[in-house]
A and B are shown apart, each in its own frame.
Chain A
């Protein structure tokens, strides 16, 4: 089957608030940059467009109808994936692999600052007749689900609260070198441990602050990619997986991520992730999620990620850097754009365009997304710069 590569990337900076533009104007900015980067005209050169968005985040029903204008997709094939950006990327890969399309655009954005009742919308994602009434009865913040998962993860794996706190320290420090990331700062493990408990053992600084922003990626079939750009970044494998939605049915392991990784690795021919992968970008809306996700990727044995993080293995100059972008904790929780933000960083690193945070000698990187509380859906993509 045909190869698929990323030939263009564009984004807006990620910011806590973006009142100066509406979401259409935000998306237009990112799209213009992506098309410029790819050297294409969307009105002529793109066969299909995909947006990744969820009605409740946007506040529009049937949001898919609003997506064409700002992408240059009017009167062109266009559809919306109700999910994270990497799921849209998977759709794009399939459209090219099958030969249906040659060039496909994927977009995801967050304008989450405009949702005034975030917690209540998250609550609407709970089972409406069983789980949601339990949340409403005592008006408990829905992030207690993350507290449940973290508690079990710590208990089953022996991971410590200090190790989780160290994730925050590393991410926020990495973010200082990323001009796109709004939440970079220097802090200590004690700062994190001393921040107020939200849903014990989860602490305030372990929760990624939300951000607005947009990411647009342009994909092309291998032979076209080689013509369009100097350094196409190939998507060697992509996988996705969903657990049962029952919150109380989850275990300590991020099974959705593990299965998604297995699917992606099989396509990419990855049998020994530690040997074959140079760095990773993973969703870490909650600090412990980075450790759990790194284990799901097979980059650490279960329960070992926290210890290895303290040893420096996942730092920028470590053996296997994780979240050089700053991750969600440093770059912001971009809701459905989270997966594309992770993919964007992988592409920039593999192209050698990551500026001050550039990792040396990287050839293969992996991106992992998760849809956030209360979901059990994840996706994994393996990217490679072919020499």
Chain B
């Protein structure tokens, strides 16, 4: 028996014409005609924060930003790790940073995870903290600043949640704002 061309499937009686290339929701009836399975994966995890990040989170709860110094390369790593990925050796000591820094890069995000337009653009970016080398991995939100004002190199400082609201999370810092505001 000769095989039917593949494209035929869309035009046969069961499925009707091909779906609108512009995209539209299938009607309940159309959906019922398409054999499919809906499943919600149940995957839950409880990740250990580890030695370095546990101490870091505890520090945030107390309003402190802690880093780990590697005497091999002299860098202070923040967020901290117990080993230096460049030197491949254990890091050596805890260092408290003042929390101030400068904007390394940023983006003004106008959409949420579902690609809906958001009313207030979300300002995200990376920060070179004073006392730590550039491009160390510190990321956060920016606030009390307009998208037009925000720029690379702008000095910023953290805005903390009140002590009683801090739980040991990176969100214990609400955002970073232009310094001295």
Contact = CB atoms under 8 A, between A and B. Distances in A.
B83 interface: yes
Interface stretch (A109-117, A197-205, A220-228, A311-319): A109-117
B50 interface: yes
A53 B43 CA distance: 16
B44 interface: yes
Contacts of B118: none
Contacts of A136: 39
Interface stretch (A14-22, A90-98, A246-254): A14-22
Given A24-B81, A72-B88, A74-B85, A124 B43 contact: yes
B37 A43 contact: no
A143 interface: no
A42 B50 contact: no
A68 B85 CA distance: 8
B43 A115 contact: yes
A20 B43 contact: no
A25 B87 contact: no
A142 to B, nearest CB: 12
A351 interface: no
A100 interface: no
Nearest to A21: B50
Contacts of A144: none
Contact of A56 (B37, B39, B43, B52): B43
A128 interface: yes
Contacts of B44: 115-117
B82 interface: yes
Top 8 A-B pairs ranked by shortest CB distance?
A22-B50, A72-B88, A69-B85, A59-B45, A120-B42, A116-B44, A129-B37, A117-B44
Given A21-B51, A22-B51, 5 more contacts: A56-B43, A68-B85, A69-B81, A114-B45, A117-B43
Interface of B: 36-37, 39, 41-53, 81-83, 85-88
